[in-house]
C-alpha cells in the first residue's frame, strides 16, 4: 500500500497552523505562569496578546487552506471541506465571542477588580481541544491510500 498526499501545500499549511496553535495554546500559555517574577497582570496581558495574534494567524492559515483546497477541489471529499468548515466555525466563535469575554475578565483581574465565576475559560479549553482533534484529523485526511499493483 502506498500513501499519496492530496496537496503538499495544504498539508504544509495545516502542519504550520497546528504548530503555531499548539505552541501558543498548550506550551506558552501554561509556561508563562511558571516564570519567576511574572506578575498576574503581566501574564494576563501576554495571554491576551498571544491569543489575539494566534487567532489572526490561524484565520490567515485557514483562508489560505480553503483557497488552495478550492483550486484543487477534485482531490478533496465533502468530509475534507466539512472538517475545515468546522475548524473555521470554532475559530470564529473563539475570536468574536469567547476571547472578547475572556479579555474583559482578564482586564478586570489585572487591575485587581473581582470577577464573578464563569465557565467561559473551561469552554475555551474545550474549544481548543476540539480544534486540536480536528486539525490532526485534517492532516491525516491529506493522505490517500493506493494499492500497489504488482
State the residue for C-alpha cell 491510500: 145
Q: How far is residue 44's CA from residue 49's CA, in Å, rounded to a whole number?
A: 9
Question: For the CA atoms of the chain, what is the radius of gyration?
Answer: 19
Per DSSP, the three-state class of 14 is: helix
0.85 exceeded by the pTM? Answer: yes
- Residues of the domain holding 54: 2-146
Structural domain count of the chain: 1
Per-residue pLDDT of the chain (150 residues; tens, 9 = 90+): 889 999 999 999 999 999 999 999 999 888 988 889 999 899 999 999 999 999 999 999 999 999 999 999 999 999 999 999 999 999 999 999 999 999 999 999 999 999 999 999 999 999 999 999 999 999 999 999 887 766
Closest to 21 (Cα-Cα) out of 71, 49, 61: 61
Instruction: State phi, psi for 7 to the nearest 5 degrees.
Output: -155, 110
Amino acid at each position: 500500500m502506498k500513501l499519496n498526499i492530496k496537496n503538499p501545500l495544504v498539508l504544509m499549511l495545516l502542519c504550520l497552523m497546528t504548530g503555531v496553535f499548539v505552541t501558543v495554546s498548550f506550551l506558552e500559555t501554561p509556561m508563562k505562569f511558571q516564570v519567576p517574577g511574572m506578575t498576574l497582570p503581566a501574564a494576563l496581558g501576554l495571554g491576551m496578546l498571544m491569543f489575539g495574534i494566534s487567532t489572526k494567524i490561524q484565520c490567515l492559515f485557514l483562508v489560505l487552506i480553503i483557497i488552495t483546497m478550492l483550486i484543487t477541489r477534485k482531490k478533496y471529499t465533502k468530509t475534507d471541506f466539512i472538517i475545515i468548515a468546522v475548524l473555521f466555525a470554532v475559530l470564529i466563535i473563539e475570536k468574536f465571542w469567547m476571547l472578547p469575554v475572556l479579555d474583559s475578565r482578564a482586564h478586570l483581574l489585572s487591575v485587581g477588580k473581582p470577577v464573578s465565576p464563569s465557565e467561559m475559560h473551561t469552554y475555551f479549553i474545550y474549544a481548543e481541544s476540539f480544534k486540536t482533534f480536528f486539525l490532526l484529523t485534517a492532516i491525516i485526511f491529506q493522505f490517500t491510500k493506493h494499492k500497489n499493483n504488482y
